[in-house]
Structure 1
């Protein structure tokens, strides 16, 4: 039986992100994504797949490859619809990091984290919608991919 999932995720540059918190977020998203995901590109041979993910010319580029890294399809999504969410997500993550490092109250940290989860959910829904008809993903896969989109956007 086919495995309609990601076997590997390749990001364009493995250099560290601007801060350890962002780096940990990216690393955890990749680890969680590879531990369990549903990634089912419409019309492609059976998986599993490798995904080369990058931001190029204002677009999110999903370069889907087979297990031996042979190219299968490239999908490019405009980042415009994601810009507000990405900006808000980075602001909330920065607020969370500041609250944790400055010893903020547990209630404040939890409130910020709830806001982050809300933005994460909204980003996942938008990503799944934008991939609709091209790649079927489950909600958790979309959430983790959105985290990586935000991490990639930090490099711009």
Structure 2
């Protein structure tokens, strides 16, 4: 059974190419999230009788978040579409605090940076939990995977 759980993971994450590019800070966050996600994750579509590993393509279609999941070889497994409405306030607040954080890194004291970073992490955790809740019954992920996915949701949402 250990072999099957070793397969409940992502081996590739692609963001829809229509998203475009963002600021260097946001692009860095996206690259780190994708790298970390591929390195360590727990990801399994609910009810998938076959083992992964999986590929994930995230995109926006008509203001909805699309999770297109396929097998390693490219065969489609499932597509889940989530409303972005539950994320709007969190993403907006997260971006505002991220802007403050990046400004603080350049000019504030370590204690000011730490205080802003604590708020940033708190909002990120809130968004990650919201994503975990929204994926419940569709895709099984652990909290660390949800955190990395939430970072990508922020990039898609902001650019969309």
Shift of 1:15: 7.3
Residue 29 of structure 1: aligned partner: 33
Residue 65 of structure 1: aligned partner: 70
Residue 95 of structure 1: aligned partner: 100
Q: Does 1:55 pair with 2:64?
A: no
Give the length in aligned residue pairs: 155
SS in 2 for 1:133: coil
Residue 130 of structure 2: aligned partner: 126
**What value does the CA root-mean-square deviation take over the aligned residues?**
1.3
Residue 75 of structure 1: aligned partner: 80
Shift of 1:71: 1.4
Shift of 1:13: 2.0
Shift of 1:14: 8.1
Q: 2:91 aligns with which of 86, 89, 92?
A: 86
| TM-score for the superposition, normalised by structure 1 | 0.95
Unaligned runs of 5+ in 1: none
Query: Going by fraction, where is helix more abundant, 1 or 2?
Result: 2
Residue 22 of structure 2: aligned partner: 18
